[in-house]
Protein backbone atom coordinates (compact mmCIF):
# COMPACT_ATOMS: atom_id res chain seq x y z
CA UNK A 1 0.00 0.00 0.00
CA UNK A 2 1.53 3.32 -1.09
CA UNK A 3 0.95 6.67 0.56
CA UNK A 4 -1.02 9.18 -1.44
CA UNK A 5 0.76 12.29 -2.70
CA UNK A 6 -1.43 14.43 -0.44
CA UNK A 7 -0.32 12.46 2.63
CA UNK A 8 3.36 12.81 1.65
CA UNK A 9 2.92 16.56 1.17
CA UNK A 10 1.25 16.87 4.59
CA UNK A 11 4.13 14.97 6.24
CA UNK A 12 6.59 17.54 4.89
CA UNK A 13 4.45 20.69 5.06
CA UNK A 14 3.21 20.25 8.63
CA UNK A 15 6.67 20.20 10.31
CA UNK A 16 7.79 23.06 8.05
CA UNK A 17 4.77 25.17 9.09
CA UNK A 18 5.39 24.46 12.78
CA UNK A 19 9.04 25.45 12.36
CA UNK A 20 8.15 28.74 10.61
CA UNK A 21 5.52 29.64 13.21
CA UNK A 22 7.77 28.98 16.19
CA UNK A 23 10.61 30.95 14.57
CA UNK A 24 8.20 33.89 14.26
CA UNK A 25 7.34 33.66 17.95
CA UNK A 26 11.01 33.76 18.86
CA UNK A 27 11.60 36.93 16.84
CA UNK A 28 8.65 38.66 18.54
CA UNK A 29 10.11 37.86 21.94
CA UNK A 30 13.35 39.72 21.23
CA UNK A 31 11.79 42.66 19.45
CA UNK A 32 11.49 45.99 21.28
CA UNK A 33 8.23 46.79 19.59
CA UNK A 34 5.61 45.06 17.54
CA UNK A 35 4.62 46.81 14.32
CA UNK A 36 5.99 50.06 15.76
CA UNK A 37 3.00 50.53 18.07
CA UNK A 38 3.02 48.04 20.91
CA UNK A 39 6.07 48.10 23.15
CA UNK A 40 6.56 45.66 26.00
CA UNK A 41 6.98 47.03 29.51
CA UNK A 42 10.58 47.06 30.67
CA UNK A 43 11.18 47.23 34.39
CA UNK A 44 13.30 50.19 35.45
CA UNK A 45 15.97 48.90 37.81
CA UNK A 46 17.64 51.31 40.24
CA UNK A 47 19.88 49.92 42.97
CA UNK A 48 22.14 51.53 45.51
CA UNK A 49 22.98 55.09 46.49
CA UNK A 50 23.28 57.95 44.03
CA UNK A 51 26.46 59.74 45.05
CA UNK A 52 27.20 62.99 43.25
CA UNK A 53 30.29 65.16 43.06
CA UNK A 54 28.77 67.54 45.61
CA UNK A 55 28.21 64.75 48.15
CA UNK A 56 31.71 63.32 47.71
CA UNK A 57 33.18 66.81 48.25
CA UNK A 58 31.55 66.93 51.71
CA UNK A 59 33.34 63.77 52.85
CA UNK A 60 36.77 64.37 54.38
CA UNK A 61 39.36 62.06 55.93
CA UNK A 62 39.01 61.95 59.70
CA UNK A 63 35.20 61.94 59.68
CA UNK A 64 33.49 59.33 61.82
CA UNK A 65 31.46 56.48 60.33
CA UNK A 66 28.25 58.17 61.51
CA UNK A 67 29.19 61.41 59.73
CA UNK A 68 29.99 59.55 56.49
CA UNK A 69 26.67 57.70 56.76
CA UNK A 70 24.87 61.04 57.22
CA UNK A 71 26.38 62.40 53.98
CA UNK A 72 26.47 59.34 51.71
CA UNK A 73 23.76 57.16 53.22
CA UNK A 74 24.07 53.56 54.35
CA UNK A 75 26.51 51.51 52.30
CA UNK A 76 25.08 48.89 49.97
CA UNK A 77 27.74 46.37 50.97
CA UNK A 78 29.45 45.83 54.31
CA UNK A 79 31.55 42.79 55.06
CA UNK A 80 32.13 41.19 58.45
CA UNK A 81 35.64 40.24 57.36
CA UNK A 82 36.45 43.79 56.17
CA UNK A 83 34.80 46.01 58.78
CA UNK A 84 36.94 48.97 57.73
CA UNK A 85 35.57 48.98 54.17
CA UNK A 86 32.19 50.26 52.96
CA UNK A 87 31.13 49.77 49.36
CA UNK A 88 28.62 52.11 47.77
CA UNK A 89 27.36 50.68 44.50
CA UNK A 90 24.90 52.40 42.21
CA UNK A 91 23.31 50.93 39.08
CA UNK A 92 20.48 52.16 36.91
CA UNK A 93 18.95 50.76 33.75
CA UNK A 94 16.34 53.05 32.29
CA UNK A 95 14.74 52.81 28.89
CA UNK A 96 16.07 55.50 26.59
CA UNK A 97 19.16 56.21 28.73
CA UNK A 98 22.58 54.62 28.95
CA UNK A 99 22.96 52.13 31.81
CA UNK A 100 25.15 53.43 34.61
CA UNK A 101 27.34 51.65 37.16
CA UNK A 102 29.37 53.43 39.82
CA UNK A 103 31.33 52.01 42.75
CA UNK A 104 32.61 54.14 45.62
CA UNK A 105 34.74 52.61 48.37
CA UNK A 106 35.15 54.24 51.77
CA UNK A 107 38.10 52.94 53.79
CA UNK A 108 38.24 53.48 57.55
CA UNK A 109 40.88 53.21 60.23
CA UNK A 110 38.83 52.24 63.26
CA UNK A 111 35.95 54.74 63.38
CA UNK A 112 37.70 57.44 61.30
CA UNK A 113 37.58 57.74 57.51
CA UNK A 114 40.98 57.10 55.97
CA UNK A 115 40.15 57.62 52.28
CA UNK A 116 37.39 57.48 49.70
CA UNK A 117 37.89 55.99 46.25
CA UNK A 118 35.38 57.18 43.66
CA UNK A 119 36.71 55.18 40.73
CA UNK A 120 36.84 58.25 38.51
CA UNK A 121 34.95 61.48 38.06
CA UNK A 122 31.51 61.56 39.65
CA UNK A 123 28.75 63.50 37.90
CA UNK A 124 27.35 66.69 39.39
CA UNK A 125 23.71 66.48 40.45
CA UNK A 126 22.46 68.34 37.36
CA UNK A 127 24.58 66.14 35.07
CA UNK A 128 23.18 63.00 36.68
CA UNK A 129 19.58 64.19 36.32
CA UNK A 130 20.22 65.12 32.67
CA UNK A 131 21.74 61.69 32.01
CA UNK A 132 18.64 59.82 33.19
CA UNK A 133 16.05 62.28 31.86
CA UNK A 134 14.29 60.44 29.05
CA UNK A 135 11.61 63.05 28.37
CA UNK A 136 10.63 63.22 24.72
CA UNK A 137 10.17 66.99 24.62
CA UNK A 138 12.53 69.61 25.88
CA UNK A 139 11.26 71.13 29.05
CA UNK A 140 11.80 74.76 29.81
CA UNK A 141 12.39 75.54 33.44
CA UNK A 142 10.28 78.49 34.56
CA UNK A 143 12.01 81.37 36.28
CA UNK A 144 11.44 81.25 40.01
CA UNK A 145 12.16 84.93 40.67
CA UNK A 146 10.65 88.07 39.23
CA UNK A 147 12.61 90.88 37.66
CA UNK A 148 12.12 94.41 38.96
CA UNK A 149 9.97 95.28 35.93
CA UNK A 150 7.74 92.23 36.49
CA UNK A 151 7.40 93.08 40.18
CA UNK A 152 6.35 96.67 39.35
CA UNK A 153 3.81 95.39 36.83
CA UNK A 154 2.00 93.31 39.45
CA UNK A 155 -1.36 94.70 40.60
CA UNK A 156 -1.40 96.22 44.03
CA UNK A 157 -3.38 93.96 46.38
CA UNK A 158 -6.46 95.60 47.94
CA UNK A 159 -6.19 96.70 51.52
CA UNK A 160 -7.97 94.47 53.99
CA UNK A 161 -11.01 96.08 55.61
CA UNK A 162 -10.32 97.78 58.92
CA UNK A 163 -11.54 95.78 61.86
CA UNK A 164 -13.04 97.80 64.60
CA UNK A 165 -11.38 97.44 67.92
CA UNK A 166 -13.29 95.17 70.28
CA UNK A 167 -13.78 96.73 73.70
CA UNK A 168 -12.00 94.96 76.49
CA UNK A 169 -14.18 92.27 77.94
CA UNK A 170 -13.88 91.63 81.61
CA UNK A 171 -11.32 88.97 82.23
CA UNK A 172 -12.97 85.60 82.60
CA UNK A 173 -12.12 83.32 85.41
CA UNK A 174 -12.32 79.60 85.09
CA UNK A 175 -12.44 77.01 87.85
CA UNK A 176 -9.30 74.91 88.27
CA UNK A 177 -9.17 71.69 86.25
CA UNK A 178 -8.09 69.63 89.21
CA UNK A 179 -9.24 69.99 92.74
CA UNK A 180 -6.60 70.22 95.35
CA UNK A 181 -6.81 67.82 98.24
CA UNK A 182 -7.17 69.47 101.72
- Give the domain ranges of the chain: 45-132
Position 1 pLDDT exceeds 90: no
> For domain 45-132, is the CATH number 3.30.1450?
yes
Residue bearing the bigger pLDDT, 147 or 19 = 147
Looking at residue 176, its pLDDT comes to 77
| Predicted structure pTM score | 0.53
E-assigned strands of the chain? 45-48, 77-79, 82-93, 100-109, 112-117
Position 5 pLDDT exceeds 80: no
Q: Which class for 178: exposed (0-12), middle (13-18), buried (19 or more C-beta within 10 A)? A: exposed
Residues 59/116, Cβ–Cβ less than 8 Å:
yes
Amino acid sequence: MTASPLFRLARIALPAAVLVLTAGCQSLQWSDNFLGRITPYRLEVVQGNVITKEQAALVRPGMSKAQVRDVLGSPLLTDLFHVDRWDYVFTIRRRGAEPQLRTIVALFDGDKLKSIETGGELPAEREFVASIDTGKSSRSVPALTLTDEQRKALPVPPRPPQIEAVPDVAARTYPPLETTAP
